[in-house]
A and B are shown apart, each in its own frame.
Chain A
């Protein structure tokens, strides 16, 4: 048993080293620097609470955090609805395993291509003279091009849903595939309608998958800065962009203080979600 523990540690050493140097140390560094001071062109070691005081007493901080939560909540709702429906279709309506695998792969391949290019690819669709506007005009639905299609909250949420629905489909599909089909037959035999089976059997059994998908989507949206910057045309802000702005101005201490608060927020959220699911068991 003792021997086992030693081998376990040896095997885990490379992993621990990478996480120590590139995860734990950077977090520690950010915490330290968040107490430092900054001039216009340099930063200096100190132990002051100025950065936090400025952050926590500024209206902007609260507005930006609220906006970040809004993005996370809206993206979560849409990715969950779409992801659940797609996973349900693949797991319960496609009858051959080969087709299930083929269609599932079709859903996951975009995840392995570049996010930035997938964002860029919305421009010809949503632009002022884009496909959406010209189609709507030629159909006579609108007279003037819609201005809010691109560079707005609408396009930000659309891009988030486009990028991250996969993260809902995959874990939900994984959990659904493990549901014993005889339970569904039993529900049908007991006289349940399709909706009742869905509501009282499938959804409760799919909860772990929904939780894992939620963790992914919430973490990705909360920490994002590039999608919001690109899709809002720099007109909306979230916490990630606030950090990035400070970095651009070389204000590393204030960027670090914002980063610490963001990290605490994300970890609290994810920690709460983790109480509802045992990730290792569900894989």
Chain B
């Protein structure tokens, strides 16, 4: 290997600074959430305790955290499943040339770039003018899909751009029906990417704020609850909650990455040894 140029060390330092910039603040509130009972929102630490985490479990101190967490969790799962199914179907549809596909594509881009508050406002208006009750599981659910679906579809486009169609042709030559080709050839090949779509679907929904603001009704999701807290809670209990939800997000991400890793390993193991030279 040739020696590293000097620029490598400069850029490495830059990259480390970038990581500190990305993670530093979050780590800081992680530390501050263990603030002693008399501590405030910034350093110095006045002792180390679990005081603020204990506070989270007392209803009157912070409001309905656990209710909003379970709503966000269920909504996240709903959005995740829908995003995966609809994105796969949409991805498959775009491989065929159908009339209107260009319009649909531009709608997807619009859905991606439209200011979130417009979705919130528009959906809220439709619901209120038709006297429907806004609820996180109906209007909130749909509003979130306009954010997660474009990401799911962009991932599907990327996947199918790299997809080798000869696998499908081989299956068809062996007499597989169109459904069998999808079920036994296409889906297993794209499975790891689907985990990625699922991860995006869940986490984007779990963290979404603007699109649920006017569409979730009287029962808040967790981000709405946290935002409400920022205006009236001035103790480290806010940091404790921030730390807990971030840890939860990290666990979710780790789980998904682990599943992808397992899938890839199983695939490597079961892969054909054709051409390996063993007779």
Q: Which residues of A contact B (CB under 8 A)?
A: 4-5, 7-12, 14-16, 18-19, 21-27, 29-30, 33, 82, 85-86, 88-90, 93, 95, 103, 105-107, 109-110, 112-118, 120-125, 127, 129-131, 134, 162, 165, 194, 215, 219, 222-226, 230, 240, 243-244, 247, 252, 255-256, 259, 262-263, 266-267, 270, 274, 279-281, 283
Are A262 and B42 within 8 A (Cβ)?
no
Identify whether the interface residues of A are mostly helix, strand, loop, or mixed: helix
Out of B98, B109, B226, which one reaches A270, CB within 8 Å? B109
Candidates B87, B119, B209; contact of A226 at CB < 8 Å: B209
Answer whether A5 and B98 are a contact pair too, CB < 8 Å, given A12-B90, A225-B210, A262-B115.
yes
* Residues 93-105 of chain B, each 1 if its beta carbon lies under 8 Å from chain A, else 0: 1101111110011
In the assembled complex, which residues on chain B have CB atoms less than 8 Å from the CB atom of A27?
114, 118, 122
B-chain residues with CB within 8 Å of residue A4 when the two chains form the complex: 96-98
Query: Is B166 an interface residue when CB atoms closer than 8 A count as contact?
Result: no
Within the complex, the shortest CB–CB distance from A234 to chain B, in Å, comes to 10
CA distance A86 to B41 in the complex (A): 32
**Quick one: closest B residue to A31, CB to CB?**
B122
Q: Are B250 and A11 in contact (CB under 8 A)?
A: no
Residues A93 and B11 in contact, CB atoms below 8 Å apart: yes
- Contact of B93 (CB < 8 Å), options: A8, A88, A226, A230: A8
Q: Which residue of B lies closest to A8 (CB)?
A: B98
Within 8 A of A (CB), among B117-138: 117-119, 121-123, 125-126, 129
Question: Which B residues between 207 and 243 are near A, CB-CB below 8 angstroms?
Answer: 207, 209-210, 214, 223, 226-227, 230, 238-239, 242
Instruction: Report the minimal beta-carbon distance from A1 to chain B, rounded to whole angstroms.
Output: 9
- Of B25-33, B49-57, B269-277, the segment with at least 4 beta carbons within 8 Å of chain A is B25-33
Judge whether B158 and A283 touch: CB under 8 Å. yes
Contact B230 A120 (CB under 8 A): yes
Of B109, B154, B209, which contacts A116 at CB under 8 A? B209
Chain B residues with CB under 8 A of A5: 96-99
Taking Cβ atoms with an 8 Å cutoff, the residues of B that contact A are 1, 4-5, 7-8, 11-12, 14-15, 18-19, 21-26, 28-29, 32, 41-43, 85-87, 89-90, 92-94, 96-101, 104-105, 107-119, 121-123, 125-126, 129, 142-143, 145-146, 149, 153-154, 157-158, 161, 199-200, 203-204, 206-207, 209-210, 214, 223, 226-227, 230, 238-239, 242, 245-246, 249-250, 253, 257
Whether B90 lies near A117 (C-beta < 8 A) is: no
Given A103-B15, A267-B113, 16 additional A-B pairs, CB 8 A:
A4-B96, A5-B98, A8-B98, A18-B86, A21-B142, A23-B107, A26-B121, A26-B122, A82-B18, A109-B250, A113-B203, A113-B245, A165-B18, A219-B115, A259-B115, A259-B122
